[in-house]
Structure 1
Amino acid sequence: MLIVLLPEHLQPDSPGPVRMHWWHTDRDGSLLDTGHDTLEALHGQYPTERMRALVPPSAVTLYRVRVPVRKASAVRAALPFALEDFLSQELDELHFAAGPRRPDDRVAAAVVEQSNMVFWQELFEQAGWRLEALMPLSELHAELPPAGVLRVQQSPWPTDMPLVIVTAADQEPVMMEESLLGIWLQRRLADRDPEDRILELYGVDAGALNLGEDAQVIPGPDLSSELLEPALRRATDTRPVFNLLTGPYASGMAAPPWRKMRTTMIAAGVLLAVMATQFGLETWTLARERDRLQAEINSLFDTTLPTSRRVDPVTQFREALEGGGSSGNGGMGGLLYEVLAVSSKDGKAEIREFRATPVDMEIELHVASFAELETIRASLAAKPELRETLQGADSGTEGVTARLKVERSKS
């Protein structure tokens, strides 16, 4: 993931390409590389990385307010009215983002100008980046010191002027120039009870702050080198606790709009896959049936018309039957017609198999009894142009099966 720090006092009319400090981290937030470059150059170097940005303290203000509602959407709706007394600008000109609820049951909130939000997002989009999260820089140092303690530390971040970080259990983190720290602390300590005027100063000279005698100062070493890595880990959390990309700006950080329909799309995809599989199986089954029927037609053609070259069996069968029926001498069509006329008269017999040539035919008949068989043979023998021969007969419980050979008489 890439983390970039927006420059302080960045404006739409800022001259030249905008260069930003950046940090490249792995999934655990461990630092892999760092540098100072433009967004376009970063896109060329890391085209597939995810991008998050940090907003400097000069562009965003953090508050802690009491909001009685608990639902996230209700908290966001109530923030402008809860902060109205602290703001000098019109509410329509400002963007409000809700942060986590603190141990004192108050809600952290951030306020930033709408124009800056639009400008920052356009800046990243023009460079080819889809901004995933936009976080206040101060919020990365929200570790709470003990109650009644103001903790002051040197900032580890590269900024135009050296900054210090002030944290307390009853307020959001504040980052300011070190030159302003003395005046700010004097006013802040004056608002606190005497027992709560405890200062922890890490890497900050207490003598330059002109603090009153009632302030209890606890000095400590400069720990700024140890603050950067934990802050980067917080910045790379899967769900950042404080993200300015909410409300009208949420589409830039959240998952793409189609992801909300992912469940429906998956279900539709599964249904389409099932339908496609079913269609494929039906097509395969029909193709097998077609091939089987074609093979049976070809086999029947080779049996009944052994001397003909197979081109279109159905048409050739039809032409043979029509030609045989219309010819004066009979032929296979006429012979088949006469045999069928005799055997099917009064529904006496069932032809189960036959093999025919233009001059003779072998058929297998199934009749109810030998008497019916003899009747059929007598009817065939009564036709002077036909000669029949009984080649065999078997009787069973279901009737008699006989094999006859019928041919045209040569006389």
Structure 2
Amino acid sequence: MLIVLLPEDLQEVPQDTTLVHWWRLERDGSLQGEGRDTLNGLKTRFPAERLRALAPATAVSLYRLDMPVRRTASIRAALPFALEDQLSQDLELLHCVPGPRRRDGRLAAAVVEIESMERWQHLFASQQWRVEALIPLPALHADDAPEEGLLVRPSPWPSAVPQALITAPDQEPALIETGMLQLWLRRRLGSLPEAQRVVRASGFSREALGLEDSPDVVFSRDPGTVEVNHALKYCLQPSPPLTLLTGSFATSMAAPPWRKLRPVMVAAGVLVAVMLAQFSLEWMMLASERDRLVAGIQTVFESSLPNSRMVQPVTQFRQVLDGNAAGNTAQRGGALLHEALAVVAQTPNASITQFRATPDEVEIELQLASFAELEALRAGLAARPGLQETLQGADSASEGVTARLKVSRRES
């Protein structure tokens, strides 16, 4: 991640040559590089790096307020009016940003001029570089407050004039020019009860802080130092607690909303890829099974109907089966008629006037000379193995005897 410190006097420098201090951090917070360069140069060197910016202390003021409301929307609506007594400018010219609640239960807030936000917005837009977060520089030291009193140390951050970093348990961190430090301390200590007038300093003597004539102030030296690398880790948080990119500036300068959904999108992409791979594998297996079945059908078709061209094998097989069934039925009915007519042909003076045949039976109408010949014909039919005859009727006339016989297969 790339972190840049915006210049204090941006309006006086052409934006294409604006120099910014920068630090490059790894995910674990280790410092990989630092220096000073233009945004254009940084864009060329680190085109794929995520970018977060630090607003200079001279352009942003931090406050700590008693805000009983808890809803975010209510806090945003009430914040400008809660700050009105502490601000000397018109509220319409200021951008007020609510922050997190501190350990004492009070709300942190930042105030910056809208004009400054617009200049920074234009600076990054000219380089087509989106900023994920814009953090007030003093806010990086919010967790460095002492248990009581004031902690005064030299500022480690680059600036046009030397600055001092002041932290306290009941106030937001502040970066004060060393030339204004004595006046600031005098006013700050004057607002505290006598029991809380405690000052710990590193790099400053009691005389340098203007406390030699303040016997009621407890002064002690602090051996600690401020490390830039440790403070920069504040910027690595997924969502820094106090960022100026809210309201109308949230969409104009911050990273696009979909970037926050990048892990979800990656997971969804992986899931879709796995599902596509699974569907492709199943499709290949089904295609292989289909080819195997087609080859099997073709083999059966060629062996069963060697002289036919396969077009619709199921329909062709059904037609062949239906045709064989019809042929068998016709063959069975023809055999029965042949046997019945063979017996009639052996009978003298017998003639067939009409007949009706089905696959299972034959009805014959005969003309015979006498009943004796009729009985002889019936005896001949009954003598045939597997045949059964039934006399349907007989009439006698001058021409002879007319009879109707039904011949069928005998049930075994």
Work out whether 1:220 is the aligned partner of 2:221: yes
| TM-superposition CA deviations, 1:356-389 (whole Å, max 9, x none) | xxxxxxxxxxxxxxxxxx835727989xxxxxxx
Structure 1 residue aligned with 2:186? 186
The two structures have a TM-score, normalised by structure 1, of: 0.68
SS of match in other structure, 1:48: coil
173 and 268 in structure 1: CA distance in 2 versus 1, 3 angstrom threshold: closer
Aligned twin of 2:39: 39
Aligned residue among 352, 372, 375 for 2:332? 375
For the Cα contact (< 8 Å) 2:16–2:40, is it kept in 1?
no
- Between the aligned partners of 2:61 and 2:176, the Cα distance in structure 1 is 12
Q: Is contact 1:23-1:33 (8 Å) kept?
A: yes
| 2: CA distance, partners of 1:59 / 1:379 | 119
Q: Which amino acid aligns with 1:257?
A: W
Matched, 1:313 2:313: no
Deviations, residues 244-269 of structure 1 (Å, cap 9, x unaligned): 22233334446633756986997799
Q: Secondary structure at the match of 2:84?
A: helix
- TM-score, structure 2 normalization: 0.68
Cα distance change on mapping 1:315 and 1:64 into 2, 3 Å: closer
8 Å Cα contact 1:43-1:128 kept in structure 2? no
Q: Are the equivalent residues in 2 in contact too, given 1:156–1:227 (CA < 8 A)? A: yes
Residues 305 and 280 (structure 1 numbering): CA distance in 2 closer, same or farther, change over 3 Å? same
Equivalence for 1:240: 240
- Which residue of structure 1 aligns with residue 52 of structure 2? 52
Please give the per-residue CA displacement for 1:23-71, whole angstroms capped at 9, x wherever unaligned: 1222222222211111222222223322211111111010111111123
Structure possessing the higher radius of gyration over alpha carbons: 2
Structure-2 separation of matches of 1:25 and 1:110: 25
Q: Which position in structure 1 is the counterpart of 2:301?
A: 300
**1:202 Cα offset (Å):** 1.5
Residues 1:203 and 1:269: Cα distance change in structure 2 (over 3 Å): closer
1:98-109 paired onto structure 2 within 5 Å: 98-109=98-109
Q: Distance in 1 between matches of 2:37 and 2:49?
A: 16
For 2:328, the equivalent position in structure 1 comes to: 343
- Contact 1:189-1:197 at 8 Å conserved across structures: yes
Cα distance in 2 for residues equivalent to 1:259 and 1:186: 46
| Structure 1 unaligned residues grouped into runs of 5+ | 320-332, 346-373, 383-411
| CA 1:245–1:282: 2 relative to 1, 3 Å | same
In structure 1, what is the equivalent of residue 163 of structure 2?
A: 163
User: Compared with structure 1, are the counterparts of its residues 101 and 378 closer, same or farther at alpha carbon in structure 2 (3 Å cutoff)?
Assistant: same
In structure 2, relative to structure 1, the CA distance for the partners of 1:85 and 1:342 (3 Å cut) is same
The Cα shift of 1:179 comes to 0.5
Distance 1:299 1:171, change over 3 A: same
Question: Does the aligned pair in 2 maintain the 1:25–1:33 contact within 8 Å?
Answer: yes
Contact 1:298–1:313 (Cα < 8 Å) also in 2: no
CA shift for structure 1 position 209:
4.1
Q: Match of 1:50, as an amino acid?
A: R
Counterpart-to-counterpart distance in 1, 2:279 and 2:224: 67
Aligned counterparts of 1:122 and 1:213: Cα–Cα separation in 2: 48
Separation of aligned partners in 2, 1:286 and 1:257: 40
2:107 and 2:312 map into 1 onto residues whose CA distance is: 88
Distance 1:267 1:205 in 2: 60
Matched residue SS, 1:206: coil
Q: Deviations over 1:134-154 (max 9, x none)?
A: 11111112222233x122110
Query: Once structures 1 and 2 are overlaid, which stretch shifts more, 289-298 or 118-127?
Result: 289-298
Name the SS of the counterpart of 2:311 in structure 1: helix
Q: Secondary structure of the equivalent of 1:124?
A: helix
1:10-409 correspondence runs (5 A) = 10-11=10-11, 14=14, 16-142=16-142, 143-147=144-148, 149-211=149-211, 212-220=213-221, 223-224=224-225, 226-251=226-251, 252-253=253-254, 256-257=257-258, 259=260, 281=282, 285=286, 288-289=289-290, 292-293=293-294, 295-297=296-298, 299-301=300-302, 303-306=304-307, 313-314=310-311, 341-344=326-329, 375=332, 378=335
In structure 2, relative to structure 1, the CA distance for the partners of 1:257 and 1:247 (3 Å cut) is: farther
- Structure 2 residue matching 1:131: 3-state secondary structure: coil
Note closer, same or farther for the CA distance 1:276–1:150 as it changes in structure 2 (3 Å cut): closer
Amino acid paired to 2:243: N
Q: Answer yes or no: is the 8 Å Cα contact 2:21–2:35 preserved in 1.
A: yes
The answer for the alignment partner of 2:361 in structure 1 is none
For 1:27 and 1:146, how far apart are their aligned partners in 2?
30
What stretches of structure 2 of length at least 5 have no aligned partner? Answer: 340-412
Cα distance in 1 for partners of 2:180, 2:260 equals 47
Partner Cα separation in structure 2 for residue 15 and residue 269 of structure 1 = 42
Inter-CA distance 222–157: structure 2 relative to 1 (3 Å threshold): farther
Count of aligned positions: 334
Q: Distance in 2 between matches of 1:255 and 1:201?
A: 43
1:315 shift after superposition: 9.2
Match of 2:8 in 1: 8
How far does residue 343 in structure 1 lie from its aligned partner after superposition? 2.2
